[in-house]
Amino acid sequence: MFGKGLLTGLGITLKHMVGPKVTEFYPEERPNLSTRVRSSMGLQKEKCISCNMCAMACPNGVIKLTSEKDENNKKVLKSYHMDVGRCLFCGMCTEACPTKAITVTQEYENAVYEAEDLKWDMIARAERKGKEG
């Protein structure tokens, strides 16, 4: 009984020793991510109609947005904040958004030292991204 399990384990170990190496040299080489990877959030401010559907769909209450009416009596987005430390990246907010203003992105470098840095001002992030690229 113990001999069969030991031989099976040694066989697996030997197979991995002589098999191909899967080491990635991050950050010099960026990994190829699957299209299904969800690791960050993005906002297109000009598409947002301030309907609050994303905030209502979020199971953790991560999204807080404020709006005001303009001279045409239309809602205009004033602030859009996310507590990404509590976000599940489930995508329910993106599904609820009628204009597809909020998206799940593949930006995966979200490590920070302070918990306060996980409270994102999405409008400021969108403007920074617009200037960079």
Residues of the chain with pLDDT under 50: none
Q: For residue 10, what are its two tokens?
A: 């040694």
Instruction: From the options 1.10.8.10, 3.30.300.10, 3.20.20.70, 3.30.70.3270, give the CATH code of 37-132.
Output: 3.30.70.3270
Distance of alpha carbon 4 from alpha carbon 65, whole angstroms: 60
Taking the model in full, what pTM does it have? 0.74
Every domain of the chain and the residues it spans:
37-132
